[in-house]
Amino acid sequence: MTADDLLAPLDLAFWNLESAEHPMHLGALGVFTAQSPTAGAHAADLLAARAAAVPGLRMRIRDVWRPFDRSEPFDLRRPLAFGGATREADPRFDPLHHVTLHAPAADFQAEAGRLMERPLERGRPPWEAHVLPGEDGDRFAVLFKFHHALADGLRALTLAAAVLDPMDLPAPRPRPAEPARGLLPDVRRLPGLLRGAVSDVGRALDIGASVAVHTLGMRPTPALTAAPTGTRRTAGVVIDLDDVHRIRKVAGGTVNDVLIAVVAGALRRWLDERGDGSEGVVPRALIPVSKRRPRTAHPQGNRLSGYLMRLPVDDPDPLRRLGTVRAAMDRNKDAGPGRGAGAVALLADHVPAIGHRLGGPLVSQAARLWFDILVTSVPLPSLGLKLGGNPVTEVFPYAPLARGQALAVAVSTYRGQVHYGLVADAEAVPDLDRFARALTAEVETLITACGS
């Protein structure tokens, strides 16, 4: 075991937050045009064959219960590994165990919801690929599932791309080699390491104070909270990116501002239609922000922070809702992702590994105190994705559902279309399709309000 094998603190937190009723995997449903009736079966064979050659897909996660091995070079980080976990190659790895070809499906989303319920097997590499042939033979879908401890959105994209048809992607920037470590630490480094430790403590206190201030008086939104049942329902919505740009050019803001405002308007419509009412409802949304440097050679380890904002669900004016979202996002960007309650993920870097193991269940119970709904963006390459020569037409990302929360929204943009991937607790949100329709209706409302 080396220090580089250790799970990053936030990965370890995700690993320990999980329970049978609260799986912490993310997913993506890719829909392909089938060029032959056997395209789905051929895709499953390709995925299994290619997975065997991808080192990242062979990695399982193993608990660590010793501070360090005296036969190995001294590493100041090693004592903090006690109670942590490492990634290591699984000697039993069998790609056929992870790739499943299912019977033809009439509704890809219904099948995806059922499959997202099932936690990943923790004793093996925590990922799965499910191939769903379409009943009409013209399409098939692949649901990828990755545990958040194995891969965040960017890393999952890298792993999935490795089993799809090859693409011309820019080469990653090499990471500078670290000097070899001796059996004892270099005494010249100790003052700097001590200063860094003191700085880390101060940083943790600063983040903790921001979290406390921003969560004072937080009251969960009833329609978006629920006791975890372990059930899952998924839905997908496709929106023309040109429509989003038309709204943005008239109303201002960024594409992301518009997409978040669409969620706020859809929540208003959904709550009113189901009889819960939107008056006085301003749910708190967590908007994850990646702090990873782009194009790194080793993109392992979650590096996340986030923005936290109130969604103006109670405002009846669609353009005013967009303006409120835009102003809130501008304030968040000015403050930076290290401030506010959305920065709670950064606290993971300052907690010893054993703390994550012991505190994971407590932290998972507190998620509903920080935010009501997750709205996250998943980047996709602009190049066309294919599997066995069959092109991807739609990609719906699925975010993990935090304990006590009923709905999570993930968004991706792919080849001129915006794809909303919705995940909900199936018992708490039996009408997820109604919310999906509300997203489409809200885009039309904004277009009309903009006079486009």
Residue with tokens 């991706």: 412
Pairwise pLDDT comparison (315 vs 19), residue with the higher score:
315
C-alpha to C-alpha distance for 328 and 375, rounded to whole angstroms: 14
Q: Could you give the CA distance from residue 311 to residue 281 in angstroms, rounded to a whole number?
A: 8
Contact yes or no for 405/368 (Cβ under 8 A): yes
Distance (Å, whole) CA 356 – CA 64: 13
Q: How far apart are CA 426 and CA 421, in angstroms?
A: 15
Q: Higher-confidence residue: 118 or 84?
A: 118
- Contact present, 105 and 111 (Cβ < 8 Å): yes
**What is d(CA 80, CA 67) in angstroms, rounded to the nearest whole number?**
7
- Please give the Cα distance from 172 to 161 (Å, whole number): 14
The average pLDDT across 370-389 equals 87
pLDDT at 320: 97
Who contacts 333 (Cβ-Cβ below 8 Å, separation ≥6)?
Answer: 307
Three-state DSSP state, 263: helix
Distance (Å, whole) CA 348 – CA 350: 5
**Half-sphere exposure (Cβ direction) of 158: Cα atoms closer than 13 Å:** 21
SS3 19: strand
Mean residue pLDDT across the chain: 79
What angle do helix axes 241-251 and 432-449 make, rounded to 10 degrees? 50
Q: Which is nearest to 361 in space by CA: 4, 17, 1?
A: 17
Q: Are 64 and 85 in contact (CB under 8 A)?
A: yes
Q: Is residue 124 within 8 Å of residue 94, measured between CB atoms?
A: no
Between 105 and 11, residue with greater pLDDT: 105
The pLDDT of residue 201 is above 80:
no
Residue 429, pLDDT score: 95
Tokens of 158: 């890298």
- Of 53, 306, 4, 289, nearest to 154 by C-alpha is 289
Q: How far apart are CA 199 and CA 205, in angstroms?
A: 10
CA distances from 197 to 25, 101, 191 (A): 32, 50, 10
Query: Any idea what DSSP says for residue 50?
Result: H
Lowest mean pLDDT among 293-297, 367-371, 395-399, 419-423: 293-297
Which DSSP letter does residue 274 get? T
* Digit-coded pLDDT (tens) for 66-91: 544 444 554 444 444 445 678 889 99
Task: Tell me how far apart the alpha carbons of residues 36 and 53 are, in angstroms, rounded to a whole number.
Answer: 26
* Tokens found for residue 69: 């091995």
d(CA 45, CA 189): 52
**Residues in CB range of 295: below 8 A, 6 or more apart:** 170, 172, 173
Q: Locate the DSSP E strands across 299-381.
A: 304-310, 373-377
At 435, which amino acid appears?
F
In one-letter notation, the amino acid at residue 107 is D
pLDDT bin (cut points 50, 70, 90) of residue 291 is low
- Specify the pLDDT at position 23: 86
Band of residue 138 on the pLDDT scale cut at 50, 70, 90: very high
- Assign 230 a pLDDT band (cuts: 50, 70, 90): confident
Q: What is the 3-state secondary structure (H, E, C) of 406-426?
A: CEEEEEEEECCEEEEEEEECC
